[in-house]
Amino acid sequence: MSIPLLDLQAQYSSIKDELESEILDVLRGGQYILGPKVQEFESAIADYCGVEYAVGVANGTDALVLALDAIGVGPGDEVITSPFTFFATAESISRLGATPVFVDIDPQTYNLATDKIEAKITSKTKAVIPVHIFGQPAEMDAVNDIATRHGIKVIEDACQAIGADYRGRKVGSLGDAACFSFFPSKNLGGAGDGGMVVTSNKDLADRIRLLRQHGSPKKYHHSLVGYNSRLDALQATILSVKLRYIDNWNNARREKAQYYNKLFEGTKIVTPKELDHVKHVYHLYIIKVPNRADVESALKENGIGCGVYYPVPLHLQDAYEDLGYKEGGLPVSEAASHETLAIPLYPELGTEDMKKIADIVKEAIKD
């Protein structure tokens, strides 16, 4: 019997009747792009995050691009971010003609090492994008303090972290704006692409709404050059249903992460470090092992899903060769890319399966 890294079919089965009923309502209603269902979901997300405004867009990458565009990032600007994240974080900066500036990560949390940010700020720095990697919030107090002192904006990349808390506040409410992805594999995932920008800045929200629809305040009238990046009603409806369950699902992830931690006690396996003042939502459960290839092979041979996030840090990607980074330049990120591995974790995962997974991992790391 195989165990996937994530079981979307199990999630679907748990809410099948409710989901299908509401999807049929949308199909029968005939309003498929934006409209009331999207507005309802935007309001629900804003309330959930504790912000004033939420703007639905086509995907998480677009959310980052539009947020950066809305704060005025463009050619000649620099934006500081992590090299240990999905490519979209840096890609969104480059897409606007700006330059990503990579800062190494903390070896325990894999988030931005905040003590390294200030040294990378120049007169060209327009913003910083802390990534709440794998579901754990970055050290936002330090990030915001640095940003305030230097007059730069903070855009949270919260694409992996919906529902996570930092000192009692939800991610999404901790910067000038924040971006979410609703890719199917996320903790809150649709049946296709979807994204959201949240903020408490009305001017910023209004500009993003304009940008997402060709810069058009009304049909066939365009006040600026924008994008075609709209959340559709079917995805909004699916996500609205799932939002009702997100806290329960995240709590189940947290409980299962703690169970894994106990199963791996006393071994060479480094388990996720959750800081005392945060609530990690474990989009991925990441272990660090001394012989990753052996562990990966053992899991796959036994029909168990696993994944490497991320095999090549962004500063060493071919696309960024022209930036001049060299191997060894950001050593913590590079080490994480060689040593970390995601193993199955999702709300429906059973304890017997978790024991089986843990036993295989422990056996594979023996000398």
**137-165: pLDDT as tens digits:** 999 999 999 999 999 999 999 999 999 99
DSSP assignments along 154-169, one per residue: EEEE-TT-TT-EETTE
Domain of 132, CATH number, reads: 3.40.640.10
| Tokens standing for residue 184 | 């199917």
What range does the domain containing 133 cover? Answer: 8-103+111-243
DSSP annotation of 221 = B
Q: Which of 243, 274, 294 is the last residue of a domain?
A: 243
Do the domain assignments include residue 3? no
Do 173 and 145 share a structural domain? yes
Global pTM value: 0.96
Domain of 327, CATH number, reads: 3.90.1150.10
Do 181 and 154 share a structural domain? yes
Do the domain assignments include residue 79? yes
pLDDT tens per residue across span 186-207 = 999 999 999 999 999 999 999 9
Do 231 and 162 share a structural domain? yes
Do the domain assignments include residue 1? no
Q: Does position 166 have pLDDT exceeding 80, yes or no?
A: yes
The structural domain count of the chain equals: 2
Query: For residue 30, what pLDDT is reported?
Result: 87
In which band, very low, low, confident or very high, does the pLDDT at 67 lie, cut at 50, 70 and 90? very high
* Residue among 51, 301, 304, 284 nearest 179 (CA): 51
d(CA 55, CA 43): 9
